Structure formats: C-alpha cells, structure tokens
C-alpha cells in the first residue's frame, strides 16, 4: 500500500537485534551480551554466577532424586523445582538470542530481569518448607486455606 518493503525492513531489524551485525568494528555475540548485562551488577556478579551454577547442580540432583524416590509429593516438588529453575535461565537466554538489543539496554533495564530470575528460587524454598511442614505435622492438621497442589 505504501510501496515500502515492510517484510524486508522487519527482517533487517531482526537481523540487527539478534546480533548479526558488528558495530564500531566490534562483533558482539551472545556471550558478550551476557557479560555486558552482568557488568553493571558489580559485586553481585559473583553471587549471580554462583546461583546459576547452583541452579544447574539443583536441576541435575533433582532429576537424579526424582528417579530414585517413591514419594509422590516429593516427585511433584522435584518436577516443579526443575521447571522453576529453568525459568530462572530465561533472562540469559533472552540476552543470548537478542544480543545486540540486550547490549544496548545493558545496565538500564536488564538488571530487573535478573532480579526477577531470583523469584523461582524463593518459590522453591517456600514449597520445600511447606512440604516439610506437611510431613512433620501431617496433612490432617493443615487447614484448607494452607493446602497446596502438593496434597
């Protein structure tokens, strides 16, 4: 209708935002995008790196424990934990896929994504505490308002 190549412009923009172009003579890829988004965090980089390594270890141990346990509540908790831990990797996957765009916004907005990536950890802690409470007190003593999908 306007005579412009809308699809061509969209593909060109997608190519730029996914890091398929170099700027100022420097090629920027997925690893540089992740590093650029970690740089503004200062000392929290070490904490974040440790938590990501911890997430990988937790995922691996949860999968191993899932196949070794017979407790259905624990199996449900382990599956939910793995799903939540995978959610905590979403910001870094986003940085890797949209590397050029992520580098442009590094330090301005992307730290919020990384803070949000810690919430699955809090959910896992809450679910683990709830399961431990249920096992200790017994499901009969828990009133209906505190019941969860783990029952």
Is 144 part of any domain?
Answer: no
Is 13 part of any domain?
Answer: yes
How far is the CA of 14 from the CAs of 19, 65, 124, in angstroms?
9, 42, 36
Q: Which two tokens stand for residue 92?
A: 């870094």
Radius of gyration of the chain (CA): 21
Residue 75 has pLDDT above 80, yes or no: yes
Segment 95-101 shows an average pLDDT of 79
Is 121 part of any domain?
Answer: yes
Q: Are strands 22-23 and 26-27 parallel, antiparallel or unpaired?
A: antiparallel
Residue 62 has pLDDT above 60, yes or no: yes
Beta-carbon contacts of residue 84 (< 8 Å; ≥ 6 apart): 120, 121, 123, 124
Q: Tell me the pLDDT band of 24, cut-offs 50, 70 and 90.
A: low
Residue 17 has pLDDT above 70, yes or no: no
DSSP E strand boundaries for 2-134:
22-23, 26-27
| Single pTM value for the model | 0.62
How many independent structural domains does the chain possess? 1
Residue 107 has pLDDT above 80, yes or no: no
Is 147 part of any domain?
Answer: no
The H-or-E segment that residue 102 falls in is: helix 99-104
Segment 124-143 shows an average pLDDT of 72
3-state secondary structure of 129: helix
Q: How far is Cα 101 from Cα 99, in angstroms, rounded to an integer?
A: 6
Range of the domain at 68: 6-139
State the pLDDT at residue 48: 73
Q: Which two tokens stand for residue 149?
A: 């999908």
Is 57 part of any domain?
Answer: yes
Q: Tell me the pLDDT band of 59, cut-offs 50, 70 and 90.
A: confident
State the pLDDT at residue 28: 67
């Amino acid at each position: 209708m306007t005579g412009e190549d809308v699809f061509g412009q969209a593909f060109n923009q997608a190519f730029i935002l996914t890091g398929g172009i170099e700027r100022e003579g420097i090629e920027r890829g997925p690893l540089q995008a992740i590093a650029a988004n970690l740089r503004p965090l200062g000392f929290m980089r070490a904490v974040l790196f440790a938590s990501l390594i911890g997430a990988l270890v937790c995922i691996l141990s949860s999968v191993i424990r899932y196949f070794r346990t017979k407790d259905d509540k624990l199996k449900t908790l382990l599956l939910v934990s793995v799903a939540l831990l995978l959610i905590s990797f979403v910001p870094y996957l986003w940085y890797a896929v949209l590397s050029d765009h992520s580098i442009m916004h590094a330090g301005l907005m992307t730290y919020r994504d990384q803070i949000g990536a810690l919430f699955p950890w809090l959910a896992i802690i809450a679910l683990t505490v709830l399961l431990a409470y249920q096992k200790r007190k017994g499901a009969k003593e828990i009133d209906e308002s505190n019941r969860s999908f783990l029952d």
